[in-house]
Chains A and B, each alone.
Chain A
Amino acid sequence: MQRWLSPLKVFRPLMTSLLTSLVALSLLGVAGTATAAATEAMAATPLTPTPEGFVDRPVVVLDWTLAETLTGLGVRAIGVGQVETYRSWVDQPELPTGTRDLGLRTQPNLEQLARLAPDDILISPMLASLTPRLSSIAPVTSIPLYTPDTDTWQTLVEATRQLGKMTHRESQAEQLIRASETYMAGVNAALHQQDAQNQQAQMPLLMVQFMDDRHVRVFGNNSLFQAVTERLGIANAWQGDTNAWGFATVSLEKLVTLKGRMVVVEPLPPGGREGLARNGLWQALPGVRENSGASAPLFLPPVWSFGALPSANRFAHMLAERLLTRPDTEITQGQTDGDH
């Protein structure tokens, strides 16, 4: 059951760390130019590209929203909570290879954390009850993210600035903020122009994520998605109450009376599109029922719905792609899969 601490066991990690530090050293020479290029590219295209050269910072991050922001700033943290699950739920921006898995976000492995000896532990206020245990390892910084009664976009911008400051990536942080805001404004203008040409206003959107075939999360006030649509100048059809993270879990029948275009953020419920075709309530939703070009449902690939600026950019980009580029006649329920 136990493997003893064999010489080989000691040797291998030693070699790996030696190798990685060599690689890191060689990268450091080009890091300046590489990241500059990366940030330039970031300014040019709205999607945060996977930066070529990450810089290492001795911090660990328990929260995914913070982790995606750091990655967007070109920072590689020592470790992130639940790395594998991050890959399936946040996905973009991808965590740099070599990021250590810390264990559960709510219960990171303390022994390992102590061994990693970070300079700083970044958490969101949700995990505040861990602070007493964590602070005996390293100073704990709690960065507010989704807080009720605050402007979500501003909070995310502030969080980006704060992270930039902590990791000495101030200029990259400003870059990311500016790029995001410029892009949103650009899409907003383009949408307005298109509306003027078509002499038809955008339908309000009804942004949902399926929980099962009967229940959805509908995103409204306080949510990342609404923060984006506000910037794009599109109304949200859901004006009901939402929780601190900006969603309400409702059964589908709650949406039947709302006039809006469905935006479904995948994953779909078991049964997928076929299941929806047999779903009487889904078929009764005004947007689905009329199924004309301007009201046909949009299906978007998964986006982390509690994300930060990188996720916001991704979401805006996917919306823009579908709302802007296609003539109305081509928009059907089928065209949904290809991710940008």
Chain B
Amino acid sequence: MAITDHATNGSPSDHTALTHASARRLTPGVACSLLGLALLILGSHALTRDGLSLLQGLTALWSAPQFDQTANLSQANSALLSAQLVAHVSWWPRMICALLAGGALGMAGVLMQQVLRNPLAAPTTLGVASGASLAMMLATLFAPALMTGTGVAENGMTDGGFQLGREWVALIGGMVAMGLVFALAWARGMTPTIVVLAGLVINLYIGALGMVLLLFNQEALHGTLVWGAGSLAQNSWDGVITLVTRLVPGMLLALLLMRPLAVLDLDEANARSLGVSLRKLRLMSLGLAVFLSACVVSVLGIIGFIGLAAPACVRLMGARRLGQRLLWAPLFGALLLAVTDLVVASLDGLLPNLIPTGAMTAALGAPLLLWLIPRLKMTQGAGPISGGLSLVRRHPQPTRLHALLAIGVLLALLLALISGNTAEGWTLDGAWLHGNVSILDWRLPRVLAAAGAGILLALSGTLLQRLTNNPMASPEILGISGGTAIALMLTLLLVPGASQLTLLGAGVGGAALCLILLVLLNHRSGFIPERVLLCGVAITALYEAVRGIILADGDPRGQQILAWLSGSTYYVGLSAAVTVLALAIISVLMLRPLARWLDILPLGAASASALGIGVLRARLSLLGIVALLTALATLIVGPLSFVGLLAPHLARLLGLSRARDHMLGAVLCGALLMVLADWLGRQLLFPYEIPAGLMASLIGGSYFLWSLRKPS
């Protein structure tokens, strides 16, 4: 079995380059100085806010005020002491943590993007954050003792060295997730495509498990939600000590790796000829990057965006060589996070909600990224990573495979209709008419909606992956799902008791807004897929930030939002289900003639136009179709069903590679996956229901991981 890596055709690894004009204007040095200045002004302002003089504030860095328990302090003195104490145990540790974390994330981002040769890669790409998060949830629920540490307090020790506190639980979780990714990718030479894919799937898989836990235990996991949104608040120097002892050695090690890593700027063959073991080099540098981000995640929570944006920004500002980037990205990241944190902290007094910095960074960063994207000059043609994941040989008889899949879908439909769990145990005929309860009332809409949504998502996923030539592409990543979800979340929060129709309207509005944004940002560049995806990543980041902020605040309505976000066919009525399925089937039939575009477009813009395809028109219409299909599916099953990502890959793994076959295969896989997921999800924990979207991620993910492991 051969792994083809189209990225080895000698394209420069600089995917993003600045236009000359703006390169002269804003260098990394200038940007960092500006941020540093902002940091000084905001910092000194914040430090003196509670009535401290600047000198008192600065001395609070190293000296803690002593309280005399017996003394009767005057009101003014007491307030001053409080202010000094807050500065010492909270403000300074928070500031230092922000700088350290931003630096580490910036550096981890550079390493990631260098090794994976993908501008979409971020420190969380390999599942660190989701692994840490899942570990913390499991520990909180099933072994709370793990989270506390073991009686260190008696002898007054304050460092976290000997206890398995939150930091260690999270760190171990993150490292295990990374280990899984590496185990999957090792056998295939740790090529970027495989690493990214394995990371993506592990992320989905672990994320789905976490969502299930969260859905059923929201009260118990509130703490995890606050942590997940990345609040930098500190209450002692413990966090700083942990970070320094772990990050500084890690970052020094990264500098040692600089020379060998620079080799990765060359293409694969040239690098090999220099006698570098690519596999080991990749393992080491990715491991280091993951370690750095896992440390940050474990101490402070999930801080989005910095790891993606800092390296991208300094590269945009002209830091091209690896050495430059390794110098500037951490500096830029550190200052960016610290300044954002100061801004967030000053907002904190104005709003009743908790505003976690991690999520806020992403929320503020997303528009910044959207603003930057039209200013990026993207290299056309050969993408950063291989589009064709040719893991398996082409199936000799696609038609027979299609027929088998279709039979599978029909059987699954039948099974889901006639069998089910009830309070009295399993039933097979399901009592078609049980008193006034017609099973068809309750099962048919869900089964049909699941099939319809599966088809829609699989279809748009196939279109998108073929169009962008990027295996990370999926309708969820395009941002349409995210936009729909943002609109729905805000409606649920701002309109008390919103009806289903209001929600529908809001969802369509959100999807439309997103699509318009995508078109506006991309129409001048001719809808280069890479750039469209980057826009989608920004919108998705915004969605995750909004979700994080809402959930961290602990509003009880968060439960409802969670239930909806996890992608369930719960809310679908029969007429809606029939409509969706009909629309899905019509779309499949109508898109069959477009298969030629999908075979040719991945070859690149030049070849496509040479073959007589209006590239711009083709891209625009395909993207429009994808957006519509996704919006429709999102309204039914929420934004988190990763069928759009998984189904096209499943079809490929089955050996369907020509666009026509691939599309039909993916559609059938999507329908099969969703119907089975919906059915299983309703039975496993009866009367509790695991949403179909989550079940689909678990089933599809399992199959996917198994196929990656399968020896040739």
Contact = CB atoms under 8 A, between A and B. Distances in A.
Interface stretch (B27-35, B437-445, B644-652): B437-445
A44 B420 CA distance: 50
A187 B625 CA distance: 67
A85 B153 CA distance: 32
A124 to B, nearest CB: 9
B554 A212 contact: no
B553 A253 contact: no
20 contacts: A2-B428, A3-B425, A4-B426, A13-B423, A89-B219, A106-B559, A106-B563, A111-B682, A214-B226, A215-B223, A242-B352, A243-B555, A248-B353, A249-B226, A249-B552, A251-B348, A269-B223, A274-B148, A278-B158, A281-B235
A249 B353 contact: yes
Contacts of B90: 252-253, 280-281
B454 to A, nearest CB: 20
Contacts of B144: 270
A284 B428 contact: no
B549 to A, nearest CB: 11
Interface in A270-304: 270-272, 274-275, 277-282, 284, 286, 289-291
A271 B556 CA distance: 25
B147 A270 contact: yes
Contacts of B498: 128-129
Given A2-B419, A282-B235, 17 more contacts: A2-B428, A102-B687, A107-B568, A111-B439, A133-B573, A210-B223, A214-B231, A214-B233, A244-B555, A249-B226, A251-B233, A270-B147, A274-B153, A277-B153, A279-B236, A280-B88, A280-B235
A136 interface: yes
B85 interface: yes
Nearest to B65: A284
Contacts of A88: 219-220
A114 B354 contact: no
A272 B437 CA distance: 49
B423 A112 contact: yes
A214 B234 contact: yes
B354 A249 contact: yes
B441 A136 contact: yes
Q: Report the 10 A-B pairs with minimum CB-CB distance, sorted nearest first.
A: A280-B89, A241-B352, A128-B497, A251-B233, A270-B147, A212-B223, A274-B153, A109-B687, A249-B354, A103-B687
B354 A270 contact: no
Contacts of B231: 214-215, 251
Nearest to A83: B687
A104 B570 CA distance: 12
Contacts of A102: 687
B9 interface: no
A264 B429 CA distance: 53
Interface string B338-378: 00000000001001111000000000000000000000000
Contact of B86 (A110, A249, A256): A256
A109 B500 contact: no
A117 interface: yes
A335 to B, nearest CB: 19
Contacts of A170: none
B441 A107 contact: no
A217 B352 CA distance: 11
Given A128-B499, A253-B233, A111 B352 contact: no
Contacts of B560: 106, 126-127, 129
A252 B233 contact: yes
A298 B573 CA distance: 51
A114 B441 contact: yes
Contacts of B88: 280
A250 B50 CA distance: 17
A306 B556 contact: yes
A71 to B, nearest CB: 19
B153 A129 contact: no
Contacts of A104: 215-216, 563, 688-689
Contacts of A231: none
Nearest to A271: B148
A63 B69 CA distance: 47
Please report whether the interface of chain A is mostly helix, strand, loop or mixed according to DSSP. Answer: mixed
A127 B496 CA distance: 10
A103 B688 contact: yes
A114 B442 contact: yes
Contact of B148 (A115, A214, A275): A275
Nearest to A282: B235
A129 B499 contact: yes
A133 B86 CA distance: 51
B69 A291 contact: yes
Interface string B483-517: 00000000010001111100100000000000000
Contact of A111 (B420, B426, B492, B563): B420
A125 interface: yes
A105 interface: yes
Q: Which of B140, B158, B166, B503 has the most CB of A within 10 A?
A: B166
Contact of B689 (A103, A242, A248, A306): A103
B249 interface: no
A115 B423 contact: yes
Contact of B496 (A105, A125, A289): A125
B245 interface: no
B689 A85 contact: no
Interface in B146-202: 147-149, 151, 153, 158, 165-166
A3 B353 contact: no
B407 interface: no
B227 interface: yes
A253 B439 CA distance: 55
A10 interface: yes
B219 A85 contact: yes
A282 to B, nearest CB: 7
Interface of B: 50, 67, 69, 78-79, 82-83, 85-86, 88-91, 140, 144, 147-149, 151, 153, 158, 165-166, 215-217, 219-220, 222-223, 226-227, 231, 233-238, 348, 351-354, 419-420, 422-428, 434-437, 439, 441-443, 492, 496-500, 503, 552-557, 559-560, 562-563, 568, 570-571, 573, 682, 686-689
Nearest to B147: A270
A257 B79 contact: yes
A132 interface: yes
Given A10-B424, A281-B235, A109 B568 contact: no
B419 A249 contact: no
B238 to A, nearest CB: 8
B38 to A, nearest CB: 22
Nearest to A306: B556
A284 B88 CA distance: 11
B400 to A, nearest CB: 28
Contacts of A4: 426, 428
A162 B687 CA distance: 29
Contact of B425 (A5, A100, A132, A275): A5
Contact of B354 (A100, A125, A250, A290): A250
A115 B348 CA distance: 49
A198 to B, nearest CB: 18
Nearest to B90: A253
A132 to B, nearest CB: 5
Given A107-B689, A132-B573, A253-B233, A271 B149 contact: yes
Contacts of B67: 289
B354 A215 contact: yes
Contacts of A249: 226, 353-354, 552-554
A241 to B, nearest CB: 3
A114 B437 CA distance: 6
Interface string A1-35: 01111000110010000000000000000000000
A304 to B, nearest CB: 10
A272 B687 contact: no
Contacts of A129: 492, 497-500, 503, 560, 571
Q: Which of A101, A280, A306 has the most CB of B within 10 A?
A: A280
Contacts of B557: 126
Nearest to A210: B223
